Amino acid sequence: MHRHTSAASRIIGVLLVAVLGLSTTVAKADPRLQAQRLSYDQAMAALKAGQMERYRSLKSGLTDYPLYPYLLLEELSRRDKPPHQEVENFLIAHGDLPAAQRYKNEWLRRLARDGEWTMFRRNYDEASQDAGLDCQVTNQMWREGNVAQAKQRATELWTVGRSQPKDCDPLFERWRQAGGLTEEVAWQRIRLALLYRQDALARYLTRYVPSQKALAERFVDTATRPTLLNQTANYQPGPNQSAERIADIVTVSLRRLGRDDPAAAMAMWPSYQHLPFAEADRLAITRDIGVRMARRHNPDALAFMAANDPRMQDDQVSEWRIRLALRTQQWEQARDLTQRMPQTMQEQSRWHYWRLRSAQLAAPQVGELTREYAEVARHRDFYGFISAERSRQPYALNHQPARVEPRVMARVTQTGGIRRAKEFYARGQVVDARREWYHVARHFNREELIAQAVLAREMEWYFPAIRGISQAQYWDDLDIRFPLAFKEPITAQARARQLNSTWVFAITRQESAFMVDARSHAGAMGLMQLMPGTARETAQRYGIPLRNPNDVLLPERNIALGTAYLSQLHNQFKGNRVLASAAYNAGPGRVRQWTRDIDELPSDVWIETIPFDETRHYVQSVLSYAVIYGDKLGIRQSIMEPHERYILAP
């Protein structure tokens, strides 16, 4: 449970606030608030040291301090089995704390053990997604006589692709004794476990299929070693292995092989395509084999996907059929597919654009289609901006500032979570501030989310503002969505590296949305999300001071390093922002790999057929954001410059 930040984390947070140039409430707070901050720290320290008399004395003067509930939670957490009513009263008053849910779940388990079901039901939220609690509720339902409903729910809880917590054991034992665990149910769980690659669980479950134990064991063996499917004679329907069971084995095994070696899986397919696959399974096989082959730009995937999804039922398969036709320059097929795709896809600006573009590529005599592209140009996105250039229309920026009613802003500002977030922020505890800010947003309606975003923007807290306005799906306030944050260092470094500042702003906005302390799961750090190794190499190459790894989090240092690395990629890819942007996201090696098999390809086709969804979205976003930042900076920035409109052989 998160209860407090360490002193080191707090110091780092304060430094981050300071380098942002924000006016901290720490420095400007009234004397009473400053005194309460000191008392809060002292009270928390006294509580942890077991100095209860001093703690209670300090606590008495903090009842109106925004972080007071954290003291109460810490106190409750340190007590052994506090009275249930006291816990319930705390949760009624302060259950909106982000850290309260975990404590609440532990308390609910204690209520279940104590048999306090009336209080349990009063406080249990079925949306909590805690399987252990769900099992205990279902077991109590069974004890109270709702057997049919409890038995059905127990089946649902048992038939999952992973192990369930020990709290479920009593329910599952009762369910088994009542005949709930049939061989069919066990088979379905084996199937799910193998799809989740929970192979040990699947092998354990074979004991529950006694009449077909050998087949169940072969299921596990084949899923874990899919090349066994080459022994086709062992996987044909017969007296002891129905066609439906064989179809299950082949489905799971081919899907697993497809994720690792789609070419091998595709080679096996002709031997098994006659089996009675459920429609959903056939489409899943097509995704795991055909789409993966399409991502490798293998033209054989076109026929495979067409044969297994002829009616274009699966959007992902349909998208990659079009992309692969484009990449292999089968323009007529791409045109025909865009005309046949489902209506829901046709309504998207992406596929509206490609319906027009593929028609031009297939038959240049159709002309410029200026009027048709003008319809797509109404969209403020990558396809809208390209269409604007093709129809000679201005970019549809359509900035509309968010308007918030004073009463709504007052309501949001006075919410406990917002008050606590602002106090954490003022103390320099930025991580805790974000946690509170995001948690309270879960309970806001759209009006309140917009107000919260406006409030964050007023605080110059850029990332939560951008996140909030996106959650509210209010896309038209470009000041909130695209702030000119860190304008001086970005423009200065862009000028020093001879890069367009619109591009550097766009990269930074896409990388971190201006979160100073952003860290990715891969280890990238700071505003421009630099990997530690890249930061070190860039610092050495360009003579940028970097005394320790955490210096990468300093905004000006991060911008200097990121811009230098971006200039290196820009030069490496001959001034082409399309390729350099892709390289910044996926690495220059992958970009070279994605361009080595082409002589000349239109850049819009190359971008659309980038194998990684993340990188494709990244490049499209960066190019689009650069247009928006160009407008904000008074710089004419095209979606793509003339020399960027074709990808040439390296």
pLDDT of residue 16: 47
Could you tell me which residues are beta bridge partners of residue 623?
none
pLDDT of residue 129: 80
342 has a pLDDT exceeding 90: yes
Beta strands 646-648 and 600-602 are antiparallel
Show the tokens assigned to 14: 């304060």
pLDDT of residue 650: 72
**pLDDT of 107-146, one tens digit each?**
999 999 999 999 999 999 888 789 999 999 999 999 999 9
Give the chain's mean pLDDT. Answer: 94
Do 441 and 363 form a contact (C-beta atoms < 8 A)? no
564 has a pLDDT exceeding 50: yes
**pLDDT of 452-503, one tens digit each?**
999 999 999 999 999 999 999 999 999 999 999 999 999 999 999 999 999 9
26 has a pLDDT exceeding 60: no
Whole-angstrom distance, CA of residue 621 vs CA of residue 615 = 10
281 has a pLDDT exceeding 80: yes
511 is annotated as an active-site residue: yes
Whole-angstrom distance, CA of residue 608 vs CA of residue 321 = 12
Whole-angstrom distance, CA of residue 335 vs CA of residue 411 = 52
pLDDT of residue 23: 40
**pLDDT of 69-87, one tens digit each?**
999 999 999 999 999 999 9
Whole-angstrom distance, CA of residue 644 vs CA of residue 572 = 14
Catalytic residue from among 372, 511, 608, 644? 511
273 has a pLDDT exceeding 80: yes
Residues above pLDDT 90, as percent of the chain? 93
pLDDT of residue 8: 37
Tell me which long-range contacts 438-441 makes (C-beta under 8 A, separation of at least 24): 438/464, 438/467, 439/96, 439/97, 439/98, 440/96, 440/415, 440/416, 441/468, 441/471
**pLDDT of 41-54, one tens digit each?**
999 999 999 999 99
Mean pLDDT of 168-191: 97
pLDDT of residue 306: 98
Size of the chain in residues? 650
- pTM for the predicted model, two decimal places: 0.92
Whole-angstrom distance, CA of residue 393 vs CA of residue 378 = 9
Residues above pLDDT 70, as percent of the chain? 96
Torsion angle, alpha carbons of 206, 212, 216, 222, to 10: 160
pLDDT of residue 22: 42
Instruction: Give CA 229 to chain center in angstroms.
Output: 35
Amino acid at site 593: Q
Mean pLDDT of 538-555: 95
Amino acid at site 564: A
245 has a pLDDT exceeding 60: yes
pLDDT of residue 240: 86
Taking CA atoms, 395 is separated from 42, 383, 440, 638, in Å, by 57, 11, 36, 9
Whole-angstrom distance, CA of residue 297 vs CA of residue 352 = 23
